[in-house]
Amino acid sequence: MKKNTFYLLIVLLILNLQTLRSQNIAINSTGNAPNASAMLDVQSTTKGMLIPRMTTAQRTGIAAPATGLLVFDNTTGSFWFKNATRWIELIDSTSTIWTKKGSDVYLNNGENMGIGTNDPAVRLQVSNGTDIANEEGGYLELGSESNPNLALDNNEIQARNNHGASDLYMQLGGGNLGVGAGAADVKLQVDNGTDLSAFSGGYLQLGATSNANLAFDNNEIQARSNRAASAMYLQNNGGNLQIGSSSGSTTDVHINNGKLIQQATGSNNMMPLCYGHVSANGTLISGTSNVSIVKGSAAGSYYINCTGITSSTILVIAPNDIHGAARINAAYNSTNRAYVLALNAGEDPTNYPFSFVFYNQ
């Protein structure tokens, strides 16, 4: 009888296993039936389910992993599943701010992004780069090193090409460029600078502050050197300078080859070669720095030395008191020198103060 009972139990067990093969399974402590859509339905309100846990090396070492295989990677602290071609990490979307849209990846949640810093102050901050050189370095590079590229560090922008310096183009074929300007009206517009002085300020400065530099504001140009006023040169060793007119115009004022001319004077220079005021004893009271006076030994005779005097120099001279000398004569004496003779009413030479202006044509 016991033997028959044993055989009966074996038959019932086999029949039950055959039934389980064709049904879904529920694992729970309540006796609830499994969900019809699940082959395995694990139910609990107090416990979870642990799937296989392993290191990254162990995960990637699984031979021929099936598509859909799920494991927990202890190295990365995250779940991984195998898709048709590779392992995919399941990422927490609340701490991952990158978003993928088609073939694009973007960051658009209002956060700042830091590269080389964990405390970015702006939308994109790149820190802890190196100083730019022609061959390498920088904080950010746009383009390939072996081709034209643009490199930036914390105070410099440099165009490079195949590890060498290159030309830098701004707005080539584009619109206007504004510096401090909300809307630029011309190719380069600089706004919101400060009034310049000999020490500081301006809208634009060409050259280092500690050396010779040229500063501009919205109505002034000033030459400076090491925070002090300096001499300004226009067309030094260059061509002519036109003021208030275009090339070839006969109006306004022109500076051509050191000559100040206008339509009324033609090609004659309106700028004096030298001038001065001389006392009766031959002392230069005032005048240009290129003048010196020599009193002749004879009464009424004077010599005016001025670099540039030639036989064609126009000599304009007059007594300082019209009630004194009757006439003052001036004539070319030699290169860089003119002779002056003062005469009284009786045509006798006499010492007398006079003033002069000399022009070269």
pLDDT band for 244, please (50, 70, 90 cuts): low
Give the integer Cα–Cα distance in Å for 334 and 315. 13
Distance of alpha carbon 38 from alpha carbon 289, whole angstroms: 108
- For residue 355, pLDDT over 80 is answered with yes
Is residue 225 over pLDDT 90? yes
CA distance 317 to 57: 105
pLDDT reported for residue 181: 82
For 53-65, write each residue's pLDDT tens digit. 999 999 999 999 9
**pLDDT band at 18, cuts 50/70/90?**
very low
Contact 296, 342 (CB under 8 A): no
Distances (CA, A) of 76 to 55, 219, 243, 293, 325: 8, 64, 74, 96, 110
Q: Tokens for 197? A: 């002085």
Task: Rounding to the nearest 10 degrees, give the CA dihedral for residues 233, 237, 238, 241.
Answer: 50
Among 341, 347, 348, 333, residue whose Cα is nearest residue 295: 341
Residue 61, class by beta-carbon neighbours within 10 Å (0-12 exposed, 13-18 middle, 19+ buried)?
Answer: exposed
Residue 249 has pLDDT above 50, yes or no: yes
pLDDT at 12 over 90: no
Task: Please tell me what DSSP assigns to residue 350.
Answer: -
Q: What is the pLDDT of residues 67-110, one digit of tens each?
A: 999 999 999 899 999 999 999 988 776 666 777 778 888 876 77
Radius of gyration of the chain (CA): 48
Angle, alpha carbons 140-145-146 (nearest 5°): 165
Residue extents of the structural domains in the chain: 2-42, 53-89, 184-231, 233-268, 274-359
Looking at the predicted structure, is the pLDDT value of residue 306 above 50? yes
* Neighbouring C-beta atoms of residue 155, cutoff 10 Å: 7
Report which of 162, 143, 141, 164 is spatially closest to residue 151, judged by C-alpha positions.
Answer: 141
Answer whether 304's CB lies under 8 Å from 337's CB.
yes
Q: How much is the pLDDT for 81?
A: 95
pLDDT band at 241 (very low <50, low <70, confident <90, very high): low
Asked which of 64-68, 259-263, 312-316, 329-333 is least confident by mean pLDDT, the reply is 259-263
What is the reported pLDDT for 1? 53
Share of the chain above pLDDT 90, in %: 48
Q: Tell me the pLDDT of the chain averaged across its residues.
A: 85
| 188: number of Cβ within 10 Å | 13
Has residue 13 got a pLDDT over 60? no
pLDDT reading at 153 higher than 80: yes
Of 181, 218, 224, 220, give the one whose Cα is nearest residue 200: 224
Helix (H) / strand (E) element for 9: namely: helix 2-21
- pLDDT grade, residue 26 (50/70/90)? confident
Structure tokens at 158: 């440099």
Contact 231, 213 (CB under 8 A): no
Average pLDDT for 181-191: 88
End-to-end CA distance of the chain: 150
Compute the average pLDDT of residues 179-189.
Answer: 88
User: Would you state the pLDDT for residue 101?
Assistant: 77
- What pLDDT does 360 receive? 84
User: Would you say the pTM of this structure is higher than 0.85?
Assistant: no
pLDDT of residue 106: 80
Residue 291, C-beta contacts closer than 8 angstroms, at least 6 positions apart: 274, 275, 276, 284, 304, 305, 306
218 phi and psi angles, rounded to 5 deg: -80, 0
User: Coil, helix or strand for 2?
Assistant: helix
pLDDT band at residue 5, thresholds of 50, 70 and 90?
A: low
